[in-house]
Amino acid sequence: MPEQYKIAIVGSGPAGLSAAGRAAEKGVSHILLEATPHLANTIYLYQKKKFVMAFPPSEIIPLRSSLPFDQGSREEVLGHWEDSVKRLGINLRYGAEVKAVTGTKGSFTLEMVSGNPMQAERVVLAIGKGNLNKLGVPGDELPFVQYQLDDPEEYSDETIVVVGAGDSAIENAIGLSAQNNVIIINRREEFARAKPANKTQIEKAIKNGKIQCFYSTVPVRVDDLGAAAGKRGSFVLKGPDGEEAVACDRIIARLGASAPRKFLESMGIRIPGDPKDANALPEVSATYESNVPGIHIIGALVGCPLIKQAMNQGYEVVEHIEGRPVEPADEQALRVNLEVPARFPSVDKGLEFIRQNTPMLAELPGPQLREFLLYSEKLRAYPPGEVIFEHNDYSDSFYAILKGSVEVQLDPRDPSRKAKLTAGQFFGETSLISGRRRPYTVTTGPDCLLLETPRSQMNKFINSVPSVKAVIDRSFLRWAIQSQIGFDLPPQGLDHLIETAKTQSFDAKKVILKEGEPGDSLHLVRRGSVTVSRQIGGRDHVLSYIAAGGQFGEMAILKKGANTETVRANVATETIRLDPEAFRDVLQKNPWVQLKLEKAALKHIYASGKDIASGQDSPDIISFLVSQGVGEATDVLLIDESLCVRCDNCEKACAETHQGISRLNREAGPTFAYIHVPTSCRHCEHPHCMKDCPPDAIHRNPDGEVVIDDSCIGCGNCKEYCPYKVIQLAEKQPPEPTGLFSWLLFGKGRAPGQKPAPAHHGGDEGGHQKKAVKCDMCADLPGGSACVRACPTGAAIRVSPQEFINRLRSNAAAG
């Protein structure tokens, strides 16, 4: 007789393990089936000592599980779970791979690879996206080709080829490079999918020669060289210059994973969307039940890869199966966000309303929609005529219109140019993508209900849901073309430009257009910035920079001639390249577009000509400032070395204002001519530090300051991501009395001129939690930046980069 259980749980990851733990705790007949010989295979295969974060915070989502989970190392997390398996008496079987599930609710048969079937009334699938993507070329199953890496220290003195451009591939390559010769293969021209910190690390390792990188390269085949050869295999690759064979000892391919679609569909489970979409996920009900009654799906396979969320689902699914109604752990938080019961009678009714009124979100699986709303702001109804944001504001939230309408003033120079957006549409995507100020003003119409989503959450959502990314990218593309080419473009021409345009990515310092080469491309800067330079007297002189929202290359394509200037990416930059033929077709049918672009190009040429004729050094200073991050800054601290007397009042004032911790270093930083750029925050238009802040503690104030609030947990991500090294982890000190009478009468505080005791920066000598600190432009002080106000000679100034560069160019031209 086959073994019989009430619940068969497939997969011992966080979701499956938590489900089994709850079943064991409640005495429910169960079995936990794990194909590998260990728990939680995905986490087990993390690199050794990898730090695992317990997110979201408990105040947002409490942990519901019979097993513990706290942040810690991979080894600590797995150790606690192994102890819990014994403590709870979980019926766990290793090496138990399920190859098929047949039957109906109440009587399922699980066919095992081992040959001994099992029967269960209910089946819970917690298998994750476990299909590791393979190289897909001949020889990709040879013994020296692997798709995971446990411990980089196990390998030494080998030539290892790592394939992939994501975080896992980068972390593996860097971990292996200490004691091996490592080559990394990137199919594209940059590491666009990686977290900023990993991207910075791999680019630095490549630049320093620690790792060799083959860009724009794809695998062709893997050959076994045999035991007699010096290396185990030959990896044949195809790059820009043709095929090349690389002799190696090992190949590690980190190409992500996809859902086991065939396995799921063999049970009758429906997966909506494009059958070729590897990211498509199955739909489940509020009780995690699939379209096949009795088969439930939890965890990463329904779009919830976070460990805590997966564990909560494991707990909840057993409660539902046992007939004990349980609210999802995020229910209370969603009640607040959806204004239940004031606006909706229940969370489910609110979710249904949002699906019906937001096409972009309509196809999301329930767990993903709940997560999206959980990290969005509370729904808000607006009275008519309220300004959501204005042209040139620094805000960067994304808004979906659930009810009513908004009015968009498209062109700040022409108040008559307006557009109306209604329920189902959205706005705010331009600043979300570019990181720049708002390009238009939005005002509410009657009966307006909006859903606001913070930039950090929206970016994570875009990166994980391709269909949503496609919708937002198309909308951004439409706006970019209209704002740069003309809002009066007829729909036919506009649609043709959109369909044929391509988004291109460029690493920092990459040449996009070269002076003297044939010009056939008009580029709109989507994200980042570029420098424009020209050869003068045998030297490359930077004449200007163009930030997101600008354009370049128009003159060469208008005149069908050569590029008159070299355009180079200042930072990692994305542009929208308009198809030359489609663009010329628009010009032919709309002569006014050509006149507009020619006028803009001639204005640029005139300004550049004045710079060249002046013979001044302003282009060199511009080049220096752009290299120091001015090209992506909104505010920069500069010191005129000809006026600076080295009194360090700027540092002292900063420390006095910020509990003894100075956020700038006057001496550090480069100098060119008389301009010194000290180590102080640039308040970037698209802040690197905000890209992966777990508690979302970094935000931009309405006046542009990028600040870190008290919710900081001290994880250090922002410090790693900042390319200008202006963030430090420090123990915040209590304010210290510094008045003269306090010192004279009571001996409290510091004597006049006495420097404060150094704050703890690296260690934790005080025993208190350290948090990230950086310049906040003294946002809370009415008089402005303390460093500038404390400078006795006026050497220190804070200024927007565009204003300063324009001043330099004007001074040079006036000569």
Domain 3-130+258-329 in CATH 3.40.50.800 = no
Report CA-CA distances (Å) from 4 to 7, 70, 105, 118, 644: 9, 34, 14, 6, 82
> In whole angstroms, what is the distance from residue 324 CA to residue 746 CA?
66
Sorted by sequence, the CB contacts under 8 Å of residue 345 that are 6+ apart come out as none
Say yes or no to pLDDT of 615 above 60: no
The phi-psi region of residue 549 (left if phi > 0; otherwise alpha if psi is between -120 and 50; otherwise beta) is: left
* 241 contacts 214 by C-beta, under 8 angstroms: no
pLDDT at 9: 97
> In whole angstroms, what is the distance from residue 451 CA to residue 456 CA?
15
Look at residues 593, 345, 337, 542 and name the one whose alpha carbon lies nearest to residue 457: 337
> In whole angstroms, what is the distance from residue 372 CA to residue 393 CA?
25
Helix (H) or strand (E) holding 640: strand 636-640
> In whole angstroms, what is the distance from residue 549 CA to residue 484 CA?
8
Helix (H) or strand (E) holding 491: helix 491-500
What tokens were used for 569? 């990416």
Of the candidate ranges 150-164, 203-217, 270-284, the one whose mean pLDDT is the lowest: 270-284
Mean pLDDT of 322-331: 90
Of the candidate ranges 161-175, 467-481, 598-612, 692-706, the one whose mean pLDDT is the lowest: 598-612
Look at residues 491, 527, 531, 494 and name the one whose alpha carbon lies nearest to residue 511: 531
> In whole angstroms, what is the distance from residue 649 CA to residue 791 CA?
6
pLDDT at 738: 47
Between vectors from CA 236 to CA 234 and to CA 239, what angle results, nearest 5°? 145
Instruction: Describe the strand order of the beta sheet including 242-248 as a list of residue ranges.
Output: 218-224, 233-239, 242-248
Number of Cβ atoms within 10 Å of the Cβ of 544:
22
Question: 633 by DSSP, 3-state: which?
Answer: strand
Mean pLDDT of 396-403: 92
Which range has highest mean pLDDT (36-50, 66-80, 364-378, 537-551)?
66-80
User: Please, what is the average pLDDT of the chain?
Assistant: 83
pLDDT at 67: 95
Query: Which residue in this structure is represented by tokens 């963030």?
Result: 727
Q: Which residues pair with 289 in a beta bridge?
A: 296
What tokens were used for 471? 């919708």
Say yes or no to pLDDT of 230 above 70: yes
Look at residues 40, 48, 45, 44 and name the one whose alpha carbon lies nearest to residue 67: 40
Report CA-CA distances (Å) from 593 to 218, 486, 547, 558: 41, 7, 22, 11
Mean pLDDT of 568-581: 85
Q: List b or e across 175-198, with b for residues whose CB sees 16 or more CB atoms inside 10 angstroms.
A: bbbeebbbbbbbeeebbebbbbbb
User: Is the peptide bond preceding residue 735 cis, with omega within 30 degrees of 0?
Assistant: no
Beta strands in 507-579 (DSSP E): 511-513, 522-527, 529-536, 539-547, 551-552, 566-569, 573-578
Sorted by sequence, the CB contacts under 8 Å of residue 86 that are 6+ apart come out as none
Question: 460 by DSSP, 3-state: which?
Answer: helix
Say yes or no to pLDDT of 758 above 50: no
Query: Which residue in this structure is represented by tokens 């934790």?
Result: 764
Beta strands in 126-283 (DSSP E): 131-132, 145-146, 159-163, 181-185, 211-214, 218-224, 233-239, 242-248, 250-253, 257-258
Q: What is the pLDDT of residues 173-211, one digit of tens each?
A: 998 999 999 999 998 777 866 766 788 889 889 988 999
* 244 contacts 234 by C-beta, under 8 angstroms: no
Q: How confident is the model at residue 125 (pLDDT cuts 50, 70, 90)?
A: very high
pLDDT at 562: 85
In the CATH scheme, what is the code of domain 145-255?
Answer: 3.50.50.60
Report CA-CA distances (Å) from 734 to 655, 730, 769, 778: 12, 12, 13, 18
> In whole angstroms, what is the distance from residue 19 CA to residue 526 CA?
45
H-helix segments, 671-785 = 717-721, 740-741
> In whole angstroms, what is the distance from residue 332 CA to residue 170 CA?
39
* 488 contacts 410 by C-beta, under 8 angstroms: no
pLDDT at 177: 94
Which range has highest mean pLDDT (404-408, 477-481, 525-529)?
404-408
State the sign of the Cα–Cα–Cα–Cα dihedral 337, 343, 344, 346: positive
Query: Which residue in this structure is represented by tokens 């619940």?
Result: 7
pLDDT at 283: 86
H-helix segments, 135-244 = 167-176, 196-207
Query: Which residue in this structure is represented by tokens 């420390």?
Result: 655
Q: Which residues pair with 698 in a beta bridge?
A: 708
Q: How confident is the model at residue 651 (pLDDT cuts 50, 70, 90)?
A: confident
pLDDT at 595: 78
Q: How confident is the model at residue 733 (pLDDT cuts 50, 70, 90)?
A: low
Regarding beta strands 218-224 and 233-239, do their DSSP bridges make them parallel or antiparallel, or are they unpaired?
A: antiparallel
Number of Cβ atoms within 10 Å of the Cβ of 601:
19
* 590 contacts 489 by C-beta, under 8 angstroms: yes
Say yes or no to pLDDT of 87 above 80: yes
Which range has highest mean pLDDT (39-53, 99-113, 580-594)?
99-113
Question: 198 by DSSP, 3-state: which?
Answer: helix
Q: How many CA atoms lie within 13 A of 801 on its CB side?
A: 27
Say yes or no to pLDDT of 119 above 80: yes
Q: Which residues pair with 51 in a beta bridge?
A: 73
Q: What is the pLDDT of residues 234-273, one digit of tens each?
A: 999 988 778 899 999 999 999 877 778 889 999 999 988 7
Say yes or no to pLDDT of 768 above 50: yes
Question: 121 by DSSP, 3-state: which?
Answer: strand
Say yes or no to pLDDT of 497 above 70: yes
Mean pLDDT of 695-718: 80
> In whole angstroms, what is the distance from residue 387 CA to residue 450 CA?
13
Domain regions of the chain by residue span:
3-130+258-329, 145-255, 336-464, 500-614, 634-799
Decide which of 742 and 417 is more confident: 417
Asked if 3-130+258-329 and 336-464 have one fold, the answer is no
> In whole angstroms, what is the distance from residue 805 CA to residue 660 CA?
33
Q: Which CATH superfamily is domain 336-464 in?
A: Jelly Rolls (2.60.120.10)
* 224 contacts 232 by C-beta, under 8 angstroms: yes
* 729 contacts 742 by C-beta, under 8 angstroms: no
> What pTM, to 2 d.p., does this model score?
0.66
Decide which of 492 and 225 is more confident: 225
For the chain, helix, strand, coil in percent to 5 are 30, 25, 45
State the sign of the Cα–Cα–Cα–Cα dihedral 195, 200, 205, 207: positive
H-helix segments, 701-752 = 717-721, 740-741
Question: 371 by DSSP, 3-state: which?
Answer: helix
pLDDT at 626: 66
Between vectors from CA 498 to CA 497 and to CA 500, what angle results, nearest 5°? 65
Query: Which residue in this structure is represented by tokens 């298998």?
Result: 127
Query: Which residue in this structure is represented by tokens 């399920």?
Result: 98
> In whole angstroms, what is the distance from residue 175 CA to residue 680 CA?
31
Q: How confident is the model at residue 752 (pLDDT cuts 50, 70, 90)?
A: very low
State the sign of the Cα–Cα–Cα–Cα dihedral 118, 119, 121, 122: positive
Domain 500-614 in CATH 3.40.1440.60 = no
DSSP category for residue 489 = -
Q: What percent of the chain has pLDDT over 70?
A: 87
For residue 456, report the phi and psi dihedrals to the nearest 5 degrees: -60, -45
* 458 contacts 469 by C-beta, under 8 angstroms: no
Output the CA torsion 135→141→144→147 (10° steps): 50
Report CA-CA distances (Å) from 230 to 145, 271, 441: 17, 48, 66
Tell me the residue type at 602: L
Indicate the length of the chain as a whole number. 815
Decide which of 528 and 10 is more confident: 10
Look at residues 575, 574, 668, 573 and name the one whose alpha carbon lies nearest to residue 628: 668
Q: How confident is the model at residue 35 (pLDDT cuts 50, 70, 90)?
A: very high
